């Protein structure tokens, strides 16, 4: 239901403004991206931890040609309970300035506060740490839940490129 309402708002100037008591997190993923797929358990963990604290989450699939049935199957296959939406025209991609998957964008009262990696597990394509040492998205969410509004910042994500629409 949240995904449908959010999708309907994407045409309006105030996209994301009325969602999330504290913040809204857009998680850009692709069904065919192995790096995105590896993050499924971590994204689900963050959703379960922070959604009860007033932060809304939405999985955004920016894949042209992906059907709703395929999106739902991917969500089931990877254990997601996070609401999801297709973004074939890259409306969310443009609003969040997303470039790769997986990538997170955090909005506070409709304003972009963070865009970048979930953590530093991936140093580069094909180069992953066994465990991440920095948890940028969780740090951002923790600060928001503590009543702090961090200044906008951006980190470099490693993953599958979101193709331009042409």
| Chain segment 28-41, per-residue pLDDT in tens | 999 999 999 999 99
Beta bridge partners of 55: 23
Number of domains observed in the structure of the chain: 1
Determine, yes or no, domain membership for 126.
yes
Determine, yes or no, domain membership for 153.
yes
Element containing residue 144 per DSSP (H, E): helix 136-145
pLDDT of res. 9:
40
Determine, yes or no, domain membership for 2.
no
- The domain in which residue 125 lies consists of 21-161
Residue 86 tokens, joined = 């297709």
Determine, yes or no, domain membership for 28.
yes
| Chain segment 56-110, per-residue pLDDT in tens | 999 999 998 999 999 999 999 999 999 999 999 999 999 999 999 999 999 998 8
Q: What is the CATH number of the domain that holds 96?
A: 3.40.30.10
């Amino acid at each position: 239901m949240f995904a449908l309402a959010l999708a309907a708002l994407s045409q309006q100037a105030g996209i994301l403004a009325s969602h999330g008591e504290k913040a809204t997190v857009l998680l850009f993923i692709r069904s065919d991206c192995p790096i995105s797929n590896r993050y499924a358990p971590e994204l689900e963990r963050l959703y379960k931890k922070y959604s009860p604290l007033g932060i809304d989450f939405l999985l955004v699939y920016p894949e042209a040609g992906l059907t709703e049935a395929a999106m739902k199957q991917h969500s089931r296959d990877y254990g997601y309970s996070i609401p999801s939406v297709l973004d074939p025209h890259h409306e969310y991609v443009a609003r969040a300035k997303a470039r790769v998957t997986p990538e997170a964008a955090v909005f506070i009262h409709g304003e972009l506060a963070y865009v970048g990696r979930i953590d530093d597990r991936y140093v580069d394509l094909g180069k992953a740490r066994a465990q991440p040492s920095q948890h940028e998205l969780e740090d951002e969410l923790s600060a928001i839940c503590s009543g702090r509004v961090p200044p906008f910042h951006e980190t470099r994500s490693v993953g599958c490129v979101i193709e331009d629409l042409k």
